[in-house]
Amino acid sequence: MDAFTALYRAEFSRLVAGLVSMVGGLQAAEESVQEAFEAALTQWPSSGWPPHPRAWLIRTARHKALDRVRRRANFEGKRAELEAMARTLDDPAGLSDDEAERRFPDERLKLLFTCCHPALAMEARVALSLRTLCGLTTEEIARAFLVPVPTMAQRLVRAKQKIQTAGIPYRVPAESLLPDRVEAVLAVIYLVFNEGYAASSGEARVRQDLCDQALRLGRTMAELMPRRNDVQGLLALMLLHDSRRTARVGEGGEPVLLEEQDRSAWNRMQIDEGLKLVEEALSGGPPGAYELQAAIAAVHARAATAADTDWAQIAGLYALLARVQPTPVVELNRAVAIAMAGALEHGLQLIEVLDRKGDLKTYAALPAAKADLLWRQGRFRSAAAEYERALALAASAPEQRFLERRAAEARRRSEQRA
């Protein structure tokens, strides 16, 4: 990423967020900021970067917004309202660069809540957040979600129209609405992260970018709402998962099991930060789903080798998680943890029950988990059969290659024994 793109990504959201109230709408704010960056792009190569790029951008974006408001004032004749708007936009003369930066409000939290409002469709929330809060271009978002650019552009336009027309407010929600709304914001951030993390298709670089953007959004939330455990918990969870970024994928793109990962390749800095956040997030109140998942990731992160993993603690955490998030996938993970904690047979039985219920019929991880436990019991023939079942359900080519290899190895061992 070049310096200009980095600056764009870093400053775009604050500039847009600050201008929305002044210029009376997200679309107008975004266009003004966009114009300011375009002006920079034409002027800076010859004039050189200004000493305070941010102050320069703030001033220019304000001017652009002011022009816009004045044009509208002439056009629509809603003079009084627009003149009041113009007054807040007009940059007080004689301010130092530092002062200009300091006086510009940080309203990114309002922007986050608006972009993640439940009255918007989930895909619109995701696209809007990536556009306005992460400064991704429409083309970049389209590429990340494998949709045509015009489709993505339309999605963004429609979302902004709805914000304006339906009167979606630009503010941090009232205390009574806050729990639900924070949850909506976190759901968007986590979806962006998982889209990048669990991706089975698409360019690796684009995917990693999504994880980075989710982390940035998570950091913004954590910085702006430092006292909320779920917010800190989600950031911790994402950091701990992302710390295994390089270790979890083999050279051919195939997944590497946690157990077989080179732990020296885990990102220590992310782990340290994640562990600290988990402790804080777990210190107050009953933990929610994000805190518990982060706590589970923390147990793995603390184990120096796979054999050192405290599976009993993980099983306990999954039992708590199953209470706040009673889903078959959580049940499956709990069963695996129980098996790994030493009760292999009991864990297998629990998976068997889940298997018969059929909720996870299309979920490759169930037969794969079963196969792995059967393997550990030395039941290679049954393991091979389960790996083949998983293979039929696996979506991505690298995952299929991995399962194929395991199935073949299980078959070889069973024949060797016979």
Partner 1 sequence: MQYLLLIYRNEAEAAACSETERAAVFAEYMALTKTLESEGVLRGGQFLHPPAMTTTVRVRSGSVMATDGPFAETKEQLTGYYVVEATDLDEAMAIAARIPNARDGSIEVRPVQLSH
Query: Of 148 and 167, which has the nearer Cβ to partner 1?
Result: 167
Q: 12: buried, middle or exposed (CB in 10 Å: 19+, 13-18, 0-12)?
A: buried
CA 43, CA 57: separation in Å to the nearest integer? 12
Sign of CA dihedral 285, 288, 292, 295: negative
Q: Does 384 bind partner 1 (CB under 8 A)?
A: no
Report how many residues bind partner 1 under the rule CB under 8 A.
10
Interacting stretch for partner 1, rule CB under 8 A, among 103-111, 163-171, 185-193, 290-298? 163-171
SS3 of residue 87 by DSSP: helix
Dihedral angle at the C-alpha atoms of 91, 96, 98, 103, nearest 10 degrees? -30
Query: Of 166 and 392, which has the nearer Cβ to partner 1?
Result: 166
Binding mask 165-204 for partner 1 (x = CB under 8 A): xxxxx---xx--x---------------------------
**289 neighbors 324 (Cβ within 8 angstroms):** yes
Q: 269: buried, middle or exposed (CB in 10 Å: 19+, 13-18, 0-12)?
A: exposed
Binding mask 119-148 for partner 1 (x = CB under 8 A): x-----------------------------
Query: Of 177 and 408, which has the nearer Cβ to partner 1?
Result: 177
**272 neighbors 239 (Cβ within 8 angstroms):** no
CA 371, CA 413: separation in Å to the nearest integer? 14
Strand pairing partners for 249?
Answer: 255
Query: Of 68 and 117, which has the nearer Cβ to partner 1?
Result: 117
Sign of CA dihedral 221, 224, 227, 228: negative
- In whole angstroms, how close is the CB of 170 to partner 1 at the nearest point? 9
- In whole angstroms, how close is the CB of 129 to partner 1 at the nearest point? 18
Interacting stretch for partner 1, rule CB under 8 A, among 1-9, 160-168, 266-274, 280-288? 160-168
Query: Of 169 and 253, which has the nearer Cβ to partner 1?
Result: 169
Interacting stretch for partner 1, rule CB under 8 A, among 150-158, 162-170, 243-251, 291-299? 162-170
- In whole angstroms, how close is the CB of 81 to partner 1 at the nearest point? 12
Residue 133 DSSP class = I
- In whole angstroms, how close is the CB of 177 to partner 1 at the nearest point? 7
Binding mask 80-119 for partner 1 (x = CB under 8 A): -------------------------------------x-x
Q: 306: buried, middle or exposed (CB in 10 Å: 19+, 13-18, 0-12)?
A: middle
- In whole angstroms, how close is the CB of 168 to partner 1 at the nearest point? 5
- In whole angstroms, how close is the CB of 28 to partner 1 at the nearest point? 18
**360 neighbors 390 (Cβ within 8 angstroms):** no
Can you give the binding site for partner 1, defined by CB under 8 A? 117, 119, 165-169, 173-174, 177
